[in-house]
Chain A
Amino acid sequence: MRLKYVMSEVLVGLWRNVTMTIAMIITMTVSLTLLGSSVVLYWQVNDMRNVYYQQIEVSIFLKVSDTTQAQKDAIEADLNADQQPGGLVDHWQFETKQQAYDNFKVIFAAVPELTELTKPESLPESYRVKLRDPNNFDAFKDKYQKFIGDGGVQRIIDQKALVDQVFSVLGSLQKLALIIAIVQGVAALMLVINTIQVAAYSKRREVAVMKLVGASNWFIQAPFVLEAVAAGMIGAILAYGTLVLAKIYVFDGALSSLNKIITPVAWSHIHLMLPLLAAAGALISSVTGWIALRFYIKV
């Protein structure tokens, strides 16, 4: 009976104030969609970072000409020493001028003029070094710095620095989504407060009688709070739907050609958003609703 009473009060309440309810649902949806995208993006960046870091190499470019076998032997001796357990290097390989040229042709296949003009002799030999921990580049560079110049090394390049630039862009996108989500969230909170106060005002007679005859506080407040929670949950479901559509039409659709650069967004991440956003929506609206009521309905 009590449950039935509370539920019917919730439905009546949502319907009585339908424009406000819709506004509340829309702001909730936008806010939760952005929150969801922000979380998905955060996971995505982490995933991509792992994938990229596994492929990241440090390149030791030798001078294009004038490197002696003795110089190479010295470098290789150090690399081999570092490959021992506890060292910096996981594995390494030597890239000849011809291999460099083959790679060059693949990378610049779209610019035939460039590949035609370039000769294998004009490309440097290099050591491709895979570090045990890609974050240890600085230690590695400190150690191999001595080969630059007289040691026959032109320069030492860390691919991680390039990749990090990409991630910093993605990171700021994610922060932006989070900030908009918070701003929208504040708007949603204010709408929740307003909606609940309007609802409490339109039922002030009932509330007065309930307080008089000794209805428990939760019983008086539950219908109002549940109204807000219902709106929050509907908002969460719509936000989840938006994310599903974004996955289908944007990531798997428009952006699918970039699949080599952007790792695909996993469905499991999207699906995880439903309980997460529902919990966030319900929590935000119930806490706000409850606090708003404490000011409005004094015992």
Chain B
Amino acid sequence: MIALEHVTKTYPKAQRPSLNDVSVAIDKGEFVFFIGPSGSGKSTIVKLLLREIQPTKGKIHVNGREVSHMRGWRIPNFRRSIGCVFQDFRLLPNRTAYENVAFALEVIGKTQAVARRVVPEVLELVGLGGKEHRYPQELSGGEQQRVAVARAFVNRPLILLADEPTGNLDPDTSIEIMRLLDRINRTGTTVVMVTHDSNIVNQMRRRVVEIEGGKIVRDQPRGVYG
């Protein structure tokens, strides 16, 4: 499903590579944590998987496609198979929960009829039934992140990338979000989560890949934070 082969990424002007000869393979339906201190290179992986940046060396396969040399015009279509959630939610403040999720469908060419059918369903799934018409500022942080998860999942992607999704949330809310990601994982969606939240990792007991100084120092099924 996802495979990094000897991937090295050195940012321009950087002294040392953010990722140094990293190889890792993730199967369909897996739930993987990438952990490590700030600056260890874990967020670089998310950017590489989204093809926001290209590796300096090595190959990256996502959903059977070689991403690193993908032509620019193929990128949008490729990203439709990946859902994405971030620490800062990235919701549009002038749109309601429903509109935020529907927006993701509309801009990839789905009709409003499709949105009317699918959006309430996915909002129900993330536990926001009845709050469709609230604006982001009228929702709690946890609820906003649920909207973001709904938006990432509404297109039924094969992969869900989560970059510190609990970074702005209190522990209880974080656990709720993790339950939600777990539920999405059970539908067969591969979930890749970057975090340094040790509580979460220890509770979930899923595969843990630890990165330090751009290298994988640990890759453990059902691991804990360290």
B-contacting 9-mer, from A164-172, A192-200, A203-211, A267-275: A203-211
| Partner of B104 from A5, A205, A209 at Cβ < 8 Å | A209
| B84, CB-defined interface residue at 8 Å | yes
A208 touches B80 (CB 8 A): no
Q: Using a CB-CB cutoff of 8 Å, which residues 180-223 of chain A contact chain B?
A: 205-206, 208-217, 219-220
Q: How far is the CB of B143 from chain A (nearest CB, A)?
A: 18
With A215-B76, A217-B73, A217-B76: A1-B106 Cβ-Cβ less than 8 Å: yes
| B-side contacts of A5, CB under 8 Å | 106-107
- Bound CA span A211–B52, Å: 10
Number of interface residues of B (CB under 8 A): 24
A213 touches B109 (CB 8 A): no
Q: How far is the CA of A172 from the CA of B97 in the complex (A)?
A: 63
B109 touching A219, Cβ below 8 Å: yes
Q: Which residues of B contact A261 (CB under 8 A)?
A: none
Nearest CB in chain B to that of A206: its residue: B92
Residues of B within 8 A of A1 (CB): 106, 111-112
- Which listed residue, B79, B103, B112, B151, touches A214 by the CB 8 Å rule? B79
Output the residue of B75, B76, B80, B111 with the most chain A CB within 10 A: B76
Contacts of B106 in A (CB 8 A): 1-2, 5
Interface set, chain A 205-259, CB cutoff 8 A to B: 205-206, 208-217, 219-220
Interface assignment of B8: CB less than 8 Å from any CB of chain A: no
Q: Is B135 an interface residue (CB 8 A)?
A: no
Please determine whether B80 and A213 come into contact, CB atoms closer than 8 angstroms.
yes
Q: B79 and A213: CB pair below 8 A?
A: yes
Number of A-B contacts (CB under 8 A): 59
- Taking the closest CB of chain B, its distance from the CB of A31, in whole angstroms, is 33
Is the CB–CB distance between B90 and A219 below 8 Å? no
- Shortest C-beta distance, B33 to chain A (Å), equals 22
Neighbouring B residues of A212 by C-beta, 8 Å: 50, 79, 84, 90
**CA gap between A233 and B90 in the complex, in Å:** 36
- Is A111 in the interface zone, CB < 8 Å from B? no
Pair B109/A214 contact, Cβ less than 8 Å = no
Please give the number of chain A residues whose Cβ is less than 8 angstroms from any Cβ of chain B in the complex: 18
What residue of chain B has the Cβ atom nearest to residue A1's Cβ?
B111
Q: How far is the CB of B221 from chain A (nearest CB, A)?
A: 30
Q: Does A162 contact B (CB under 8 A)?
A: no
Closest to A220 in B: B107
Enumerate chain B residues within 8 angstroms of A215, measured Cβ to Cβ. 76, 107-108
Residues of B within 8 A of A2 (CB): 106, 109
Is B155 part of the contact surface with A, judged by Cβ < 8 Å? yes
Q: For chain B residues 101-125, which have a beta carbon within 8 Å of chain A? A: 103-104, 106-109, 111-112
B69 to chain A, nearest CB (A): 14
A299 on the B face (CB < 8 A): yes
B162 shortest CB reach to chain A, Å: 13
- Is residue B130 contacting chain A, with contact meaning CB distance below 8 A? no
Contact: B76 with A214, CB < 8 Å? Answer: yes
| CA of A220 to CA of B50, assembled, Å | 18
With the chains together, A212 CA to B51 CA distance in Å? 10
> Is there contact, CB below 8 Å, between A213 and B72?
no
Task: Chain A residues near B80: list those with CB within 8 A.
Answer: 213-214
Q: How far is the CB of A122 from chain B (nearest CB, A)?
A: 84
Q: Are B109 and A209 in contact (CB under 8 A)?
A: no
Is there an interface contact between A299 and B75, defined as CB atoms closer than 8 Å?
A: yes
CB neighbors of A among B167-215 (8 A): none
Does B11 touch A at the CB level, under 8 Å? no
Q: Please, which residues of chain B bring their CB within 8 A of the CB of A214?
A: 75-80, 82, 108
Q: Are A213 and B90 in contact (CB under 8 A)?
A: no
Query: B83-105: which residues lie under 8 A (CB-CB) from chain A?
Result: 84, 90, 92-93, 103-104
**Chain A, 24-41, contact with B by CB distance < 8 Å: what is the 0/1 string?**
000000000000000000
Known: A211-B76, A219-B107, A219-B109. 5 other contacts (CB 8 A): A206-B92, A209-B151, A214-B79, A220-B107, A299-B75
What are the 4 tightest A-B residue pairs by CB atom distance, in nearest-first order? A214-B79, A214-B80, A215-B107, A213-B104
Identify 18 residue pairs between A and B in the complex whose beta-carbon atoms are under 8 Å apart, listed by A's number: A1-B106, A5-B106, A208-B90, A209-B90, A210-B107, A211-B76, A212-B84, A213-B79, A213-B107, A213-B151, A213-B155, A214-B75, A214-B76, A214-B79, A214-B108, A216-B76, A217-B76, A299-B76
